[in-house]
Amino acid sequence: MMSPNRIGQSTILLPSRPRIAASAAIAGKKEGEGPLSSDFDAIIEDDLFGEETWEKAESRFQFAAADACIRKAGLTGKQVDIALGGDLLNQIMASAMAARELHIPFLGLYGACSTMAESLCIASMLVDGGYARNALCTVSSHYCSAERQYRFPLEYGCQRPPTAQWTVTGAGSALVSSDDTLPTLCRCTHATIGRIVDMAVKDANNMGAAMAPAAADTLARHFADTGRGYADYDLIITGDLGQVGHDVLLTLMQERGLPLDAARYMDCGLAIFDKEQDVHAGGSGCGCSAVVLNGHIMRRFRERTLHRILFMATGALLSPTSSQQGGTIPGIAHAIVLEADA
Amino acid sequence: MMSPNRIGQSTILLPSRPRIAASAAIAGKKEGEGPLSSDFDAIIEDDLFGEETWEKAESRFQFAAADACIRKAGLTGKQVDIALGGDLLNQIMASAMAARELHIPFLGLYGACSTMAESLCIASMLVDGGYARNALCTVSSHYCSAERQYRFPLEYGCQRPPTAQWTVTGAGSALVSSDDTLPTLCRCTHATIGRIVDMAVKDANNMGAAMAPAAADTLARHFADTGRGYADYDLIITGDLGQVGHDVLLTLMQERGLPLDAARYMDCGLAIFDKEQDVHAGGSGCGCSAVVLNGHIMRRFRERTLHRILFMATGALLSPTSSQQGGTIPGIAHAIVLEADA
């Protein structure tokens, strides 16, 4: 058997067009003060979410998003065949603790900030292939747990450089399903899996620049594989390139002869905060693209103001250890096509 | 569409029976002094593998295993559609660095010591579903990088308690393929995805006890879903329960009315080292089940002394941060059925 469900070098076809039946986005206080506040299912004013530590709080965000998503689909946890999850913490601690409460067979992922797209790519293949009827994708990040793990403890009061991004506190969840009795927000039709691209950026405070080359690579491969271009999408959505990464992507796509169409381009890291919120280069973290996709974008699908988008979350696969050892930051970007029913 | 490729509550059918076309196992010096030494493709005497740090060395093990596996299948990297990988390090640093050199679209996984089974479960679905023709699964661990991350720096000379296990230095890789022109070591026929089970073990030096309940849960679900029992398998292989976890699993399966058949049971953590090698409760780490499966077990398939096995790698989803916060250790076990051609 060849691979009937592939086109071009590296894009996957999903012939049954699995639906996203429900989604949920739980956001933190600062995110709830931004321009997308009305798109979230809940805004949690307490950064600790009633827990004793930031990590346990992040896990609570993740569980809350998963639980809300399952309920919005009209299901119970027992009807979900597989849960896929990930976060930025060492040993994906937030996801493991959330999955422990869900009691659903669990696949742990690590794709840094690309994890929302990675989970949707895998889940849509598992549902399309008939290996799962309902697959739940949930990812999270938390400003406080990420800062102390990747950079400095908050108590240190470190001054952030202008290229720094602000890790979003929040979690998003989406239910991919082949159950025709469930509602349809949109359908998953193609997935392009990212390769690691490393342009030798070393600065953990400049992740946008580290991730943009991976986004350019995946976008160019997606267009080449599918024969599509910007005009085929209402929006090309990157995860959290922020201002610096956005500018790098502009340049890289120009160089490839595929100049970005600004009217059809959106970066979740630039969309989630207002300039007045003092986040420097924009939002970041798994939770950034997760809450924008599962809150804002899914609302627009529900309201039928979007027909087809390419959701391409980008990840900076850095580790504090690799940074300490002088390593450069490997970037990755996974993309999935989401399309409304006609 | 229902889920045609599921049986029972949580087991996945792989109707096209994707083959494992090649495998490779690269082991460290201590592993090369154990009873399975003749099963490895290479034994690396230098723990640093020519690198400057343990983490970079681990990445080199992982790249070497992946590269050897691709070559043994008679392929080049360009012919591999998707690489799946994981390890125990924060932000799966070893896998990201290895995937950076492979230039293959990459899905990063985190399943702690269950990652070899997790990667095979996902890869076999992607190949069976026609989303990839060739999918490469590679995982690694390294004693020196794991000890300093999870417990104490080696230089501290900490005394290990009798329940402690020895993290295997090594990497294993397997190529799952639908290409009928490639050789067939064995075929993937069923997968049972693990749930998180947490019996409130808190001791990071007793991971076998933390993982055994998850193994019991997955094994019992696999038997219930498939209607099979011990007699249907030449071997039920757990990943790295070690002596303590093995004894706990014995008790748990007895309690479930499914007493383990000792003649058909094997634990990679007990198989990889001799008692004289002073490893206390046995081997552990992603690399443990990875080198035993891809070295020893695949040799036995090649020599036609195995017909059908259940490979069930177990993971302890602990994190140093969760331990410091008093958290208990979530366990997980993923299982895949591997079967020789008649």
DSSP assignment string, B30-66? HHHTSTTGGG-SEEES-TTTTSSSHHHHHHHHHHHHH
> Does pLDDT of A273 surpass 70?
yes
Distance from CA of A41 to the nearest CA of B (A): 27
Residue from the list B16, B92, B126 with its beta carbon closest to the beta carbon of A110: B92
Which value does ipTM take for this structure? Answer: 0.97
pLDDT of residue A3: 81
> Does pLDDT of A1 surpass 50?
no
Token pair 């992922």: residue:
A109
For residue B136, give the H/E element and its range: strand B134-141
- Between helix A207-226 and helix A242-255 the angle, nearest 10°, is 40
CB distance A188 to A340 below 8 Å: no
pLDDT of residue A9: 86
pLDDT of residue A332: 97
Tell me which of A60, A78, A110 to substitute to probe the interface with B (most B C-beta atoms closer than 10 Å). A110
d(CA B138, CA B309) in angstroms, rounded, equals 20
For chain B, the farthest-separated pair of C-alpha atoms sits apart, in whole angstroms, at 58
Question: In the predicted model, what is the mean pLDDT of residues A216-234?
Answer: 98
Question: B82 and A56 in contact by Cβ < 8 A?
Answer: no
* Domains, chain B, ordered by start: 6-177 (3.40.47.40), 186-339 (3.40.47.40)
Which residues of chain A have a CB within 8 Å of the CB of B211? Answer: none
Which residues of chain B have a CB within 8 Å of the CB of A113? Answer: none
Residue A234 pLDDT class (50, 70, 90 cuts): very high
Residue A219 pLDDT class (50, 70, 90 cuts): very high
> Does pLDDT of B1 surpass 50?
no
Q: What percent of chain B has pLDDT over 90?
A: 87
- On whether the pTM is more than 0.80, the answer is yes
For chain A, the farthest-separated pair of C-alpha atoms sits apart, in whole angstroms, at 58
Residue A111 pLDDT class (50, 70, 90 cuts): very high
Lowest-pLDDT choice from A263-272, B231-240, B277-286: B277-286
pLDDT of residue A75: 98
d(CA A146, CA A89) in angstroms, rounded, equals 7
DSSP letter for A8, please.
T
CB distance A288 to A269 below 8 Å: yes
Q: How many helices (H) and strands (E) does chain A have?
A: 11, 15
Percent helix, strand and coil across chain B, each rounded to 5? 40, 25, 35
Percent helix, strand and coil across chain A, each rounded to 5? 40, 25, 35
pLDDT digits (tens, 9 = 90+) for B34-76: 999 999 999 999 999 999 999 999 999 999 999 999 999 999 9
Which residues of chain B have a CB within 8 Å of the CB of A86? Answer: 110
pLDDT of residue B3: 82
Tell me which of A184, A322, A332, A336 to substitute to probe the interface with B (most B C-beta atoms closer than 10 Å). A322
pLDDT of residue B248: 95
pLDDT of residue B278: 87
Amino acid, single-letter form, for residue A54: W
Q: What percent of chain A has pLDDT over 90?
A: 86
Question: A322 and B97 in contact by Cβ < 8 A?
Answer: yes
Residue B2 pLDDT class (50, 70, 90 cuts): low
DSSP letter for B276, please.
G
Which residues of chain A have a CB within 8 Å of the CB of B111? Answer: 107-108
Q: How many helices (H) and strands (E) does chain B have?
A: 11, 15
How many other C-beta atoms lie within 10 A of the C-beta of residue A227?
9
Token pair 């195995």: residue:
B306
CB distance B285 to B113 below 8 Å: yes
Residue from the list B16, B100, B195 with its beta carbon closest to the beta carbon of A103: B195
d(CA A190, CA A6) in angstroms, rounded, equals 9
* Segment 93-112 of chain B within 8 Å of chain A by CB: 93, 96-97, 99-100, 103-112
Distance from CA of B196 to the nearest CA of A (A): 5
Residue A164 pLDDT class (50, 70, 90 cuts): confident
CB distance B269 to B165 below 8 Å: yes
Indicate the SS3 state at residue B285: coil
Residue from the list B93, B149, B330 with its beta carbon closest to the beta carbon of A322: B93
Question: A131 and B3 in contact by Cβ < 8 A?
Answer: yes
Distance from CA of A90 to the nearest CA of B (A): 5
What is the residue-averaged pLDDT of chain A? 95
